[in-house]
C-alpha cells in the first residue's frame, strides 16, 4: 500500500533483471577464460623454456594479439617427423586432425606421399577446397623446422623439431596472429582464439602417432 502523496515504488522489470544476470555471467566467464583457460590453451604441452625461446618467424608478426606455443614429445628422430609436416594441407595429406572439419571429410594420409615431399619458398599450404588459398612457405630447414605465413605479415605458423639425441624429439608449434578488430578477418581470428587448441592438439597427436609408427618400421 502506498502512502498518500507519494509515488508507488517501482520494481525492476524481469527483462532488466535477466539482462543484469546475463551480463554478470558473461563477465564471470570472460574472467575465467582470461585468467585460467587462455594461458593453458596457449601453452599446451610446452615447457616454460619452450614458450620463452625464440622460433623462426617470430619477427614477422611484430605485435601479435595471439601467440600460442604447443609441444609434445615423440619417440622418433626428426627425419621421421619432418616428412609428415611437409605434406600437410587440404588435398594433400590432410591435417591429421578432425578430417570432417578440415579435410573435406577425407581421411588424412597414414603414409608418406612422395609427390608432396618437395617444397619451395612461396609454395601454398592449401586450406581451401580448390587448393589455392592458405598459408605460404616462408622458409624451412629440412628435418629441423618449417615456417608458414599469410603473405602480409599478420600471421605465422612455425614448426620446430628439437632432436633429443636419444631417439626422441620435441615437436613444437607456434602460431602468431595480429587481430584487426574492425576487419572481417577478425571472425577467423576469433575462431582461432577459441577453437585452435582442439584442432592443433589432435593434429600434433596425429603426427606423433604416424612418426612413431614410421620410426618403428624404419628400425625394423
Q: Across residues 22-45, what is the average pLDDT? A: 73
Q: Which long-range contacts (CB under 8 A, 24 or more apart) does 82-88 make?
A: 82/142, 82/143, 82/144, 82/146, 82/161, 83/112, 83/117, 83/214, 84/112, 84/207, 84/210, 84/211, 85/146, 85/159, 85/207, 86/116, 86/117, 86/119, 86/146, 87/112, 87/113, 87/116, 87/117, 88/125
Identify the weakest region by mean pLDDT among 45-49, 93-97, 186-190, 208-212: 186-190
Tens-place pLDDT, residues 157-199: 999 999 998 989 999 999 999 998 887 878 878 888 989 999 9
Instruction: Specify the pLDDT at position 220.
Output: 87
List the grid coordinates of 80: 621421421
Residue 30 above 70 pLDDT? no
Question: What is this structure's pTM?
Answer: 0.84
Q: How confident is the model at residue 16 (pLDDT cuts 50, 70, 90)?
A: confident
Residue 180's pLDDT is 86
> What rounded mean pLDDT belongs to the chain?
90
- With bands split at pLDDT 50, 70 and 90, how would you rate the model's confidence at 14? confident
pLDDT value of position 161:
98
- Coil/strand/helix, residue 73: strand
What domains are there in the chain, each with its CATH number?
45-219 (3.30.530.20)
Q: Is the pLDDT of residue 21 over 90?
A: no
Amino acid at each position: 500500500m502506498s502512502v498518500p502523496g507519494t509515488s508507488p515504488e517501482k520494481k525492476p522489470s524481469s527483462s532488466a533483471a535477466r539482462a543484469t544476470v546475463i551480463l554478470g555471467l558473461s563477465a564471470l566467464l570472460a574472467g575465467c577464460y582470461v585468467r585460467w583457460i587462455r594461458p593453458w590453451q596457449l601453452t599446451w604441452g610446452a615447457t616454460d623454456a619452450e614458450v620463452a625461446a625464440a622460433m623462426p618467424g617470430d619477427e614477422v608478426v611484430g605485435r601479435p594479439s595471439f601467440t600460442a606455443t604447443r609441444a609434445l614429445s615423440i619417440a622418433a628422430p626428426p627425419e621421421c617427423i619432418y616428412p609428415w609436416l611437409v605434406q600437410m594441407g587440404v588435398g594433400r595429406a590432410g591435417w591429421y586432425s578432425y578430417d570432417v572439419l578440415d579435410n573435406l571429410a577425407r581421411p588424412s594420409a597414414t603414409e608418406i606421399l612422395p609427390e608432396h615431399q618437395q617444397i619451395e619458398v612461396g609454395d601454398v599450404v592449401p586450406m581451401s577446397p580448390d587448393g589455392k588459398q592458405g598459408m605460404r612457405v616462408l622458409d624451412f630447414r629440412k628435418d629441423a623446422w618449417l615456417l608458414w605465413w599469410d603473405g602480409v605479415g599478420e600471421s605465422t605458423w612455425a614448426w620446430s623439431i628439437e632432436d633429443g639425441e636419444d631417439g626422441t624429439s620435441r615437436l613444437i608449434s607456434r602460431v602468431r596472429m595480429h587481430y584487426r578488430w574492425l576487419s572481417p578477418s577478425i571472425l577467423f581470428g576469433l575462431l582461432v582464439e577459441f577453437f585452435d587448441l582442439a584442432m592443433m592438439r589432435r593434429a600434433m597427436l596425429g603426427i606423433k602417432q604416424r612418426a612413431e609408427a614410421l620410426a618403428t618400421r624404419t628400425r625394423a
